């Protein structure tokens, strides 16, 4: 695969597909050229024949703290100069949230796919090593900024080191390699989400896919997706939403063909990192297979 790495205006890699006028901005890895990002590029090229821009906050920076949304705009302008005139965006987990916010700011984006997203802007966080923990919250930092100012965000219920300790305790208690749903529930109890912190999904243009599973243990994405669905029903909007909430699928709710490309051997074992993946392997696989069909249909219709 040919790539162009860009570090001015944004941090990303552009992976063109010959003759394509459409491109997907994909934020599915921790770095714009890590293994997961490259697998996403191969998957999109092979199945859909469109170009891909992989983005990440910075080189091997796995946290999210005050990332300028303008980077998405800069990436769009870069691709316009390459002849791209149709833009989509896809993200999962924290970047699922980021995808929704970006699409609400940039009307050029006409396909938005958010896997396991929240319906509010999260507080910023860092990842690395600190006092025996691998993640900790920022101080007065949002995950995202706009025009040099942090976007309003839902603050976490805990500070460092209690933040990391609570996540460890919840993960161990539930038999998951990572769990923080109780922490997010407690965050909302202490600080009910305010209007300024909510993602303005009604501003999104084109096709919108909101995807999540009831058994997600990182946060209650099914509840968040239903709140976004209700918001769209209440407010005038210019998007065509498709709400896909499954009983089983875990936080890593990826299309089956993408997961198999990432892990040709052991894809089912990857999902078993979560207890729901161990207890309901068949149901989780059926969810991924159904997602394959529906995401593929959405992308193919959009690119036409």
pLDDT tens for 151-197 read 999 999 999 999 999 999 999 999 999 999 999 999 999 999 999 99
Q: What number is the average pLDDT over the span 269-275?
A: 88
Q: What are 27-43's pLDDT values in tens digits?
A: 987 788 888 899 999 99
Residue 29's pLDDT is: 77
Do you find a cis peptide bond into 275, omega within 30 degrees of 0?
no
Contact 141, 122 (CB under 8 A): no
Q: pTM to 2 decimals? A: 0.96
Quick one: tokens of 102?
A: 């970006």
Q: What are 212-260's pLDDT values in tens digits?
A: 999 999 999 999 999 999 999 999 998 999 999 999 999 999 999 999 9
Contact 220, 185 (CB under 8 A): yes
How far, in Å, CA of 231 to CA of 18, rounded? Answer: 39
137 three-class SS: strand
Residue 70's pLDDT is: 95
- How far is C-alpha 301 from the geometric centre of its chain's CA atoms? 21
Residue 146's pLDDT is: 97
Contact 39, 258 (CB under 8 A): yes
Q: Mind listing the domains of the chain with CATH numbers?
A: 4-152+198-303 (3.40.50.1820)
Whether the pLDDT of residue 60 is over 70: the answer is: no
Quick one: tokens of 292?
A: 């394959």
Whether the pLDDT of residue 114 is over 70: the answer is: yes
pLDDT band at 59 (very low <50, low <70, confident <90, very high): low
**Secondary structure (H, E, C), 201-213:** HHHCEEEEEEEEE
């Amino acid at each position: 695969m040919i790539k162009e790495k860009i570090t001015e205006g944004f941090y990303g890699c552009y992976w063109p597909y010959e003759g394509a006028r459409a491109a997907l901005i994909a934020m599915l890895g921790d770095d714009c050229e890590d293994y997961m990002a490259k697998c996403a590029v191969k998957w999109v090229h092979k199945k859909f024949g469109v170009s891909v821009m992989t983005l990440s906050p910075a080189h091997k920076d796995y946290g999210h703290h005050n990332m300028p949304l303008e980077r998405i705009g800069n990436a769009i302008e870069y691709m316009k100069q390459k002849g791209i005139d149709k833009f989509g965006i896809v993200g999962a987990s924290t970047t699922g949230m980021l995808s929704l916010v970006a699409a609400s700011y940039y009307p050029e984006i006409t396909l938005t796919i958010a896997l396991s997203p929240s319906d509010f802007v999260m507080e910023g966080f860092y990842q690395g090593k600190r006092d025996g923990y691998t993640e900790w919250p920022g101080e007065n930092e949002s995950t995202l900024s706009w025009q040099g100012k942090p976007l309003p965000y839902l603050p976490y219920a805990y500070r460092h080191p209690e933040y990391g300790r609570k996540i460890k305790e919840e993960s161990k208690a539930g038999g998951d390699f990572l769990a923080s749903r109780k922490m997010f529930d407690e965050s909302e109890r202490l600080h009910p989400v305010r209007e300024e912190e909510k993602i303005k999904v009604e501003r999104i243009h084109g096709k919108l896919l909101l995807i999540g599973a009831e058994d997600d243990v990182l946060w209650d994405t099914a509840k968040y997706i239903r709140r976004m669905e209700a918001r769209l029903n209440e407010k005038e909007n210019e998007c065509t939403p498709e709400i896909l909430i499954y009983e089983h699928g875990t936080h890593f709710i990826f299309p089956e063909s993408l997961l198999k490309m990432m892990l040709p051997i052991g894809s089912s074992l990857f999902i078993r990192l979560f207890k729901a993946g161990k207890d309901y392997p068949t149901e989780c696989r059926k969810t991924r297979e159904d997602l394959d069909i529906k995401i593929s249909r959405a992308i193919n219709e959009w690119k036409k």
